[in-house]
Amino acid sequence: MGSSKTIRRLEVVSPVPADIDIANSVEPLPIAAIAEDLNLDSKHYDLYGKYKAKVLLSVLDELQGSEDGYYVVVGGITPTPLGEGKSTTTVGLCQALGAFLDKKVATCLRQPSQGPTFGIKGGAAGGGYSQVIPMDEFNLHLTGDIHAITAANNLLAAAIDTRFFHEASQSDKALFNRLCPPNKEGKRTFADVMFRRLKKLGISKTNPDELTPDEVKRFARLDIDPDSITWRRVMDVNDRFLRKITIGQGPEEKGMVRETGFDISVASEIMAVLALTTSLSDMRERLGRMVIGNSKAGEPITADDLGVGGALTVLMKDAINPTLMQTLEGTPVLVHAGPFANIAHGNSSIVADKIALKLVGKGGFVVTEAGFGADIGTEKFMNIKCRYSGLVPQCAVIVATIRALKMHGGGPEVVAGKPLDHAYLTENVALVEAGCVNLARHILNTKSYGVNVVVAINKFATDSEAEMNVVRSAALAAGAFDAVVCTHHAHGGKGAVDLGIAVQRACENQTQRLKFLYPVDISIKEKIGAIAKSYGASGVEYSEQAEKQIEMYSRQGFSGLPICMAKTQYSFSHIPSQKGAPAGFVLPIRDVRASIGAGFIYPLVGTMSTMPGLPTRPCFFDIDIDIATGKVLGLS
C-alpha cells in the first residue's frame, strides 16, 4: 500500500494554516484511483462527480467469503466544548497506517450535519494535515443522504397528520372504501403494504370484501392519540424558532390544530436506522417498524400501519450506499450516516464498516470513530452497534489532550469562542495529574469490553514533555496497552506513525472476546442500572413519566432492546460541571423514549436539545465563494 499510486506526500507548513487553506492546497485524486487501490471493481460503485463515489452493497455479496481486517474504534476522554480531535486523530492514524506503514487501511466517518457547519462548531472533516477532502463537499451536501433522510422523515410526518385528519371526518365504511377502492372491474384489492397491518391484527383474509364490520374498523381506523405522537418534522439547519410550533391553522384543516416541532435532520430516527441497518431488506423492515405514537387504546402505531414503509425505503435506496472519499495523503475514507450522539448512538454505519473490513482484507485496518467521550460513543458502539453488526473490535483508541485533563483536574471553565485561560497554555503537571482520573476511568470501562486500549495523546504546541509523561504513566498504570504522543494535526500521517505501530501491536495481541456490558434480555431498568454504574453512579432515580414509559414499552414488547443513554457529553454524571471521575451520585432519568425501528430505548438524563440554535455570530459569516475559481472560502 505504501508504494501505491494514490499515496501522496504532504508539504507541511508551520504554523499550521487554516483547515480550508490546507484542503484547497491539495488536488484530490480521481476517486476511481482510490477505488482501484482498494481493489474495488467499477461495477461496485457509482461516481458522484470526480472526487466522490457511492459504494454499492453488492460488493458485500462478492466478498462474502474473504477475511476481515482489524477493526479499531476511536473514542475520547470526556471532552471540553472545543473537542479534543477525535476525527483528526482517526484520519491521522489512517494516514500513518496507509501512507507510512504500508498497510491497507480504510477510515469510516460520520457525515457532518450542516447545522454545526453553519452554526457554532464548524465542519467535521478532521483538521490541519489530517483531513478528508474535498473538505467543502464533505461538510455540505455530499451525496444528498441527509436530504433523503429529511424527505423521508417529513413524508412520514405528513402521513400521520393526514391520516388523523381523514379518520376524524369519515365513518369506518367510508374510510375503508377509500383505502381499498374498487378497480375498473369493480374489484377491491389490498396494497402490498396493507398485508403487514392485516398480519399484525391477526387477519388472514386477502379479499377486502370478506372483512367483517369489526375487521373493517380495526383495519381502517388507526385511532391515533394526538397527545402520544412523538414523530416530529426535521430540517438540516440550526433553527431554534422551530423547536415548538403549532400546525393545522389553515381553514381547510377544520380546526385540527396541534403543537409539535422540528428536530435537526441528523436527530431523525431514520438517520439511526440508516446507521444500524445491515442490508436493503433489513432497512425496509426497520423503517416499517418505526413507532410514531399510540392508538387511544395504547397500541403502538408504525410507519407500516400508515402504509408508508415502502415509500420511505424508496426515498432511502441510494442513501444506504456509503460514500467513498480520500484523506489528504490519498488513503480511502467511507463516509456514511451521522446519527446524533446523544439521543442516538453517534456512530457511522454498520454497512460502511462491513464493506471496509472486506476491502482491506486480512492484515488491513478499518478505523471508525465513535461520537463524544468513550462513556457515550464507545459504550454505544460496543453495546448497540457491535450487537447488531456481529463485528468484534480488536482495539479501542482513547484520544486525550492536556487541556481536557487540566480541566478535569480542576482547571478553569473552557468556553467555546473565548480565549483559553493561562492555566491551559503554561506547564502545570499537578493539574494534569489530578485530571488523569477521568482518563483512567475511560480506560477501565473500555477494557471491560475485552479490547486492548491505546491512548492517543493529541499534542498541542503549548504542551510540555513533563505533562505528556504524566499522562503516559497514568494511562499505563490504568491498564492501557500503550499510550502515544501524536502530532498528526501539524504533520499529517507522519505525526501518528507511533500511534499506528501501537494500534497494530494492540490488534495483533488481542486475545479476548467482546464482552457486552449487559445482556439484552434483562429488564429495561436493569440495563439502565448497568450503564449508570459504569458512569460511577450509586443508583438511578426515575421520574413518574419515566416509570410510565418503561411500563408501557415493557407491555408493548419492546423491553428486549439495547439502551441508548441520552446524557451530557461533558461529564460522566448528569451535571456538566462535574469534571474528573465523579462517583456516588444518583442518576436521574427524566423520561424514556424509544426508536423501535432503529432498535433501541433511549432514557433521557436531563434535557436534550434536538434542534440546536445559532449563536450571535454563526460560522456562516466566514463562508463565501471565490467567484473567479468557484472555491469555497471560510469553512473551518
The per-residue pLDDT for range 528-539, each reduced to its tens digit, is 999 999 999 999
Q: According to the model, what pLDDT value does residue 1 have?
A: 40
Q: Which amino acid is at 555?
A: R
pLDDT band at 298 (very low <50, low <70, confident <90, very high): very high
Calpha distance 231→597 (Å, rounded): 12
CA distances from residue 398 to 129, 131, 453, 585, 621 in whole angstroms, order as listed: 20, 19, 7, 25, 34
Mean pLDDT computed over 135-145: 92
The pLDDT of residue 109 is above 60: yes
Output the pTM of the full model. 0.95
Mean pLDDT computed over 441-447: 98
Residue with the bigger pLDDT between 329 and 609: it is: 329
Mean pLDDT computed over 586-600: 96
Mean pLDDT computed over 27-52: 96
The pLDDT of residue 408 is above 90: yes
Calpha distance 232→334 (Å, rounded): 29
Mean pLDDT computed over 292-307: 97
CA triple 347-353-355, angle to 5 deg:
150
Q: According to the model, what pLDDT value does residue 501 have?
A: 98
Q: According to the model, what pLDDT value does residue 103 have?
A: 97
- Reading the block at residue 251, the C-alpha cell is 381553514
Mean pLDDT of the chain: 94
Calpha distance 161→254 (Å, rounded): 13
Q: According to the model, what pLDDT value does residue 378 have?
A: 97
- Reading the block at residue 46, the C-alpha cell is 457509482
The pLDDT of residue 117 is above 90: no
Calpha distance 126→486 (Å, rounded): 14
Q: According to the model, what pLDDT value does residue 121 have?
A: 64
pLDDT band at 4 (very low <50, low <70, confident <90, very high): low
Extended strands (E) in 110-213:
126-127, 130-133
Nearest to 455 by CA among 402, 499, 406: 499
Nearest to 483 by CA among 502, 501, 467: 502
Q: According to the model, what pLDDT value does residue 5 have?
A: 67
CA triple 299-303-306, angle to 5 deg:
85
Residues in the chain: 636
pLDDT band at 3 (very low <50, low <70, confident <90, very high): very low
> Per mean pLDDT, which range of 117-131, 438-452, 565-579 is the poorest?
117-131
Mean pLDDT computed over 118-147: 87
116, containing H or E segment: helix 114-118
pLDDT band at 508 (very low <50, low <70, confident <90, very high): very high
Extended strands (E) in 35-89:
45-47, 53-55, 70-76
Q: Which amino acid is at 535?
A: Y
Q: According to the model, what pLDDT value does residue 2 have?
A: 41
For the stretch 253-295, pLDDT in tens is 888 999 999 999 999 999 999 999 999 999 999 999 999 999 9
Q: Give percent of the chain with pLDDT exceeding 70.
A: 99
131 contacts 19 by C-beta, under 8 angstroms? yes
Q: According to the model, what pLDDT value does residue 205 have?
A: 95
The pLDDT of residue 193 is above 60: yes
Q: According to the model, what pLDDT value does residue 531 have?
A: 98
